[in-house]
Amino acid sequence: MAKLKFYEDLCKGCGLCADVCPKKILRLAPSRINAKGYHPAECTDEGTCIACLSCARMCPDVVIEIER
């Protein structure tokens, strides 16, 4: 099982990670706002993650780390 870590205060809420996730388990947090004033990315079901790294590669701000 993969472990995802988000550096939420660096996230600018672009949503690119959610767009490329093949499992569609990433989204922008609807009820949280980070220090920059954006809705940060979050994982809705970490157990479903296949650790493909698509989200981490797509993130322009290197906000996502994945441990396999």
Q: What is the pLDDT of residues 9-68, one digit of tens each?
A: 999 999 999 999 999 999 999 999 999 999 999 999 999 999 999 999 999 999 999 998
List the domain boundaries for the chain.
Answer: 3-67
**Alpha carbon distance 12, 52 (integer Å):** 22
Q: Is 2 exposed, middle or buried (0-12, 13-18, 19+ CB in 10 A)?
A: middle
> How is domain 3-67 classified at the architecture level of CATH?
2-Layer Sandwich (3.30)
Query: What are the C-alpha distances in Å from 64 to residues 35, 56?
Result: 17, 5
- pTM, two decimal places: 0.91
